[in-house]
A and B are shown apart, each in its own frame.
Chain A
Amino acid sequence: MTMVYADRGDETAAEVPMRRIKFTVNGEKKIAEVEPRLLLAHLIRQGLRLTGTHTGCDTTNCGACTVLVDGQAVKSCTMLAVQADGHEIQTVEGLATASELHPLQEGFKEEHGLQCGFCTPGMMMAAKALLDRNPDPTEEEVRWALSGNLCRCTGYQNIVKSVLWAAEKLRAQAG
């Protein structure tokens, strides 16, 4: 971010320490200059303009900001952007290929797993982390894996069905 300040003639502006970081996001290599206090969620949303990752709370509870860091689900609001240095981030925008939706995305649409859509990217990323590790989860295992993501609209039942739909399709694709 380029900072331009009104020049009030005094020298009260303290030097803002910046750090240069290198990371990969959805397969693309990036460099960024960030303040240490910048949250990863804000780097993603404002720096990278990937607004599919949402922020919904200020106490690390809601999970709307969930992304994958090196394949693990992480709440991006509780990680500093500088900590992404040297790591791989995947956001919801990286789920689909150029021509196809990810089965999770299809599943959420097929099974009405979303209403307002705000928690959905976080839910899908948390679900992806589950399915990468456990391709054939039970309903209970799905609910447990998603217990760090809050939804106000759906009552979760259809979200669980969406994930199980996707799991079945992924297993079929894997053969």
Chain B
Amino acid sequence: MYPSRFRYEAPRSIAEAISLLSDGGDYAKVLAGGQSLVPLMKLRFAAPDLLVDINNVPGLAYHQADSDGTLRIGALCRHSDLERSELLARTQPTMAAAAPLIADPIVRNRGTLVGSLCHADPQGDWASVVLSLGGSVVAQGPAGRRTIPMADFVTGPFENLLAPDEIAVEAVIPPAQGARSGGYLKLERRVGDFATVGVAVSVETEGGVVRRAGIALTGVGGSTIAATEAAAALTGQPLTAESIATAAGLAASAARPRTDHRGSAEYKRHMVATFVERILSRPSAEPAERAA
């Protein structure tokens, strides 16, 4: 309930934040939404020496589409901004399905998508969504900016590729290669629960043929899993009951779940397959439910 002591800085620019991180010493963390970090600190599972609070840096709260359809989400864009976003509702079915399922409505007012990606919790929902969309994270450090594909960004549970003096300033979703469809289904026992199983599916179709697909899995392995074979099984052909079933089976095989109090490994694999089928068999215009 009570964090251990730390130093705190509240810079007003990214440059200042980077410089604080560079000088910060052994163990510094960036504070954005704080809805993952502060709880860890209260339980003393995390005890940084320095917190660099970026909430006072202007110009980071955006989410917007470029003219070519690239979607950019700033570091201080909150989950609730995305939940209420008309842009997402119109153009990003997988993201729109996931946004209401993050934590609970009050936590969503503070928590950020970019922060969630950086936190790299294997049970984090956004990582699967961004992975399924082929997204990236833009990092800024003393040497400038670089773009890190989501597939490379997470290096282990709660570990990411950022250097100690780098800050993630933006998440980027590439433009679609056709009409977008897809969704996110999450088996949570109640609002605010971590996913027992979460599945993000994104499909881009042109001329009746799937040009690009992405499937990623939450909570069924040591980290978010990109079910690349399953996605590949959908690509280059129309979506049919057969291709969906194949993809569902491959996605289940890609999962590495553990048997625990949330269910058997067999059940979790089965749910992966079930979710893939349900997302792909239902029109993407329908709003997502929690499970089924």
Q: How many Å lie between the Cα of A147 and that of B190 in the bound state?
A: 9
The answer to whether B106 touches A17, judged by C-beta atoms less than 8 angstroms apart, is no
The answer to whether B192 touches A82, judged by C-beta atoms less than 8 angstroms apart, is no
Q: How many Å lie between the Cα of A63 and that of B107 in the bound state?
A: 9
Enumerate chain B residues within 8 angstroms of A61, measured Cβ to Cβ. Answer: 104, 192
**B15: min CB distance to chain A, Å:** 21
Q: Using a CB-CB cutoff of 8 Å, which residues 56-80 of chain A contact chain B? A: 58-61, 63, 66, 72-75, 77-80
The answer to whether B3 touches A37, judged by C-beta atoms less than 8 angstroms apart, is yes
The answer to whether A37 touches B10, judged by C-beta atoms less than 8 angstroms apart, is no
Q: Which residue of A lies closest to B38 (CB)?
A: A78
Enumerate chain B residues within 8 angstroms of A14, measured Cβ to Cβ. Answer: 5
Q: Which of B3, B34, B105 contacts A79 (CB 8 A)?
A: B34
Q: How big is chain A's contact interface, by range?
A: 20 to 34
| Binary B-proximity of A137-163 (CB < 8 A = 1, otherwise 0) | 000000011011100000000000000
The answer to whether B110 touches A79, judged by C-beta atoms less than 8 angstroms apart, is yes
Q: How big is chain B's contact interface, by range?
A: 20 to 34
B158 at the interface (CB under 8 A from A): no
Q: Which of A39, A78, A145 contacts B110 (CB 8 A)?
A: A78
Q: Which residue of B lies closest to A68 (CB)?
A: B109
Q: Which of B3, B38, B42, B106 contacts A148 (CB 8 A)?
A: B106
The answer to whether B35 touches A148, judged by C-beta atoms less than 8 angstroms apart, is no
Contact flag A60-B35 (CB < 8 Å), given A17-B8, A19-B8, A73-B109: yes
The answer to whether B42 touches A79, judged by C-beta atoms less than 8 angstroms apart, is no
Q: SS class of chain A's interface: helix, strand, loop or mixed?
A: loop
Q: How many Å lie between the Cα of A35 and that of B56 in the bound state?
A: 19
B91 at the interface (CB under 8 A from A): no
Q: Which of A37, A60, A86, A126 contacts B2 (CB 8 A)?
A: A37
A16 at the interface (CB under 8 A from B): yes
The answer to whether A60 touches B8, judged by C-beta atoms less than 8 angstroms apart, is no
A83 at the interface (CB under 8 A from B): yes
The answer to whether B7 touches A36, judged by C-beta atoms less than 8 angstroms apart, is yes
A33 at the interface (CB under 8 A from B): no
Enumerate chain A residues within 8 angstroms of B109, measured Cβ to Cβ. Answer: 72-74
A85 at the interface (CB under 8 A from B): yes
Q: Could you jot down 25 A-B contacts, CB within 8 Å?
A: A16-B5, A17-B5, A36-B8, A37-B2, A37-B3, A39-B42, A58-B1, A59-B39, A60-B107, A72-B109, A75-B107, A78-B34, A78-B39, A79-B34, A79-B38, A80-B34, A82-B8, A82-B10, A83-B53, A83-B55, A148-B104, A148-B106, A148-B107, A148-B191, A148-B192
